[in-house]
Amino acid sequence: MADFPDLPEDALAPIDDAAGAPGGAAGTTGYDVPEGFRSGFVSFVGRPNTGKSTLTNALVGQKIAITADQPETTRHPIRGIIHRDDAQVVVVDTPGLHRPRTLLGERLNEMVKETYQDVDVIALCVPADEKIGPGDRWIVEAVRAVAPRVTLIGIVTKVDKVGKDRVGEQLIALHELLDGAEVVPVSSTKDIQLNVLLDVLVEHLPEGPKFYPDDHVTDDDRDTRMAELIREAALAGLHDELPHSVAVQIDEVVPHPTREGVLNVHAVIYVEREGQKAILRGKGGRRLSKTVHDARLQIIEMLGTNIYLDVRLKVAKNWQSDPKQLGRLGF
């Protein structure tokens, strides 16, 4: 505790640099649970790019949420399931709550607010290398307005990027922002404090049954996960407004006509303008080829089988603000 100035001892779990990512046995077979078993839903919230999806993947122990450098990467709630002998934690990774600029943004915000009301714990993520600002305070106010009775805790993410003094300052600031709620510092990429965080989350869950079998890591369907991996590959290296305009749909998945055990996956990447197609295609089609190559490798790893991936680019003009097109794309 000496490394962190003046933070109440009951608010901070101790730093353990050797702490690894949570794992362990899957628990009892089927849905049988021991006495005192805890289960429930946890939602990670925060501004875009605060490490929510990376944290979800690290806790689950498998990639279920895509990550990218752009804001508003997550487009729908993703449930990741963490199995322990004494608990089952369902982490709901949501789109970052933000001030919307489009109809899509408004619908994502409504989706997030509905999620808040159905979980047991809401964890506000704030990165160690960025000062707490008006956006964080706005999120806290929104959470308390929508889900006043849900337990709220704080997580300082990316603690590996700064020194311990800066981590301590951020912990104090987050503790104060949350009116004395418990706060935990973590690094998803360095496996720091993940077990401690998981222990804290479990403490706040009610006793109850398992919601999912032991072999489940997410309730996202296959096509949604494939579409997200393609979108992640398409976003790689983009740093302007284009990422907000990219959506992906899986057209069909069928057996390859001549190669046994191979699936043909046909997908469409939608953008809002012709110029955006040119950016995603790249000179001589090289950028699109790299997108297909990178996404194919990820999908093969996810499915455990070989695939042929066909990706086409199409324009859906101003789809982010068109109710019909939003509905067709699943928003």
* Annotated binding-site members for GTP: 46-53, 93-97, 157-160
- Hunting for tokens 């997908």 — which residue is that? 267
- How far apart (Å, rounded) are the C-alpha atoms in residues 297 and 190? 24
Query: Is residue 46 exposed (0-12), middle (13-18) or buried (19+ Cβ within 10 Å)?
Result: buried
| φ, ψ for residue 127, nearest 5 deg | -70, 145
Is 190 in contact with 167 (CB distance < 8 Å)?
no
- How far apart (Å, rounded) are the C-alpha atoms in residues 304 and 226? 13
Instruction: Extract the annotated binding site.
Output: 46-53, 93-97, 157-160
Is 288 in contact with 282 (CB distance < 8 Å)?
yes
Cα-based angle 20, 85, 154 (whole degrees, multiple of 5): 50
SS3 (DSSP) at 17? coil
